[in-house]
């Protein structure tokens, strides 16, 4: 069974094709132009987790994670990272499955992460790794 594990609970990929699950998600989030962020107007555009009861247990999943899973057809193996820097965005075109490292490199490339105040300066090896990641 493919899926993702939340603690001791495994969510199967088949949940993404469950009509009730998909309809409940889509009824709560607007869609719009592919180049714009899609925010939850009911919550003032704030980031939130959705509560689902699955297999008799309550599970909290971020809305962006569900949006990405519906786009790629399976639960993301890592994080639902945002190219748009808006944690509340659920536009699948703004999301990608990435690691913490991928997310930090993406933030550095876009100038969103400022490490100038680090106690320890970035090593030459780290700078080279970031530069090579762009290639």
Residue range(s) defining the domain that contains residue 111? 100-135
On whether both 92 and 124 belong to a single domain, the answer is no
Relative to beta strand 49-54, strand 57-62 is antiparallel
Rounded (10°) CA dihedral 103, 104, 109, 112: 100
Whether residue 115 is found in the same domain as residue 74: no
Q: pLDDT value at position 95? A: 94
The first and second tokens of residue 42, run together, are 């009911």
Please report the pLDDT score of residue 44 as a whole number. Answer: 59
* pTM: predicted TM-score of the whole model, two decimal places: 0.72
Nearest CA to 28 out of 88, 75, 96 is that of 88
Helix axes 63-72, 19-28, angle to 10 degrees: 130
Q: How many residues are there in the chain? A: 135
pLDDT number for residue 120: 59
pLDDT in tens, the chain (135 residues): 455 555 545 678 888 888 988 888 888 887 888 889 988 666 656 666 777 777 788 888 888 888 999 999 998 888 899 988 888 889 999 999 999 889 888 888 888 776 666 555 667 787 788 778 766
Question: Are 80 and 111 in the same domain?
Answer: no
Residues 10 and 63 both lie in one domain: yes
- Residues linked to residue 12 through DSSP beta bridges, in sequence order: 3
pLDDT at 135: 63
45: alpha, beta or left, given left = phi > 0 and alpha = psi -120 to 50?
Answer: left
pLDDT the model gives residue 18: 87
| Dist. CA 61–CA 67, nearest whole Å | 11
Question: How far, rounded to the nearest angstrom, does the alpha carbon of residue 130 sit from its chain's CA centroid?
Answer: 22
Both 91 and 116 in one domain: the answer is no
Q: How many domains does the chain have?
A: 2
The residues near 126 (Cβ < 8 Å, ≥ 6 apart) are: none
Nearest C-alpha neighbor of 49 from the set 29, 33, 34, 31: 29
Q: Quote the pLDDT of residue 8.
A: 47
């Amino acid at each position: 069974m493919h899926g993702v594990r939340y603690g001791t609970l495994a969510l199967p990929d088949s949940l993404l094709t469950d009509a009730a699950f998909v309809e409940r998600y889509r009824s709560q989030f607007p869609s719009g132009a592919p180049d714009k962020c899609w925010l939850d107007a009911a919550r003032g555009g704030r980031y939130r987790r959705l509560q689902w009861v699955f297999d008799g247990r309550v599970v909290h999943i971020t809305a962006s994670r569900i949006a990405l899973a519906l786009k790629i057809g399976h639960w993301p193996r890592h994080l639902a990272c945002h190219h748009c820097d808006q944690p509340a965005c659920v536009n699948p075109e703004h999301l990608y499955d990435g690691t913490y490292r991928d997310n930090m490199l993406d933030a550095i490339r876009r100038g969103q992460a400022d490490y100038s105040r680090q106690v320890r300066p970035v090593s030459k090896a780290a700078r080279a790794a970031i530069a090579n990641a762009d290639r």
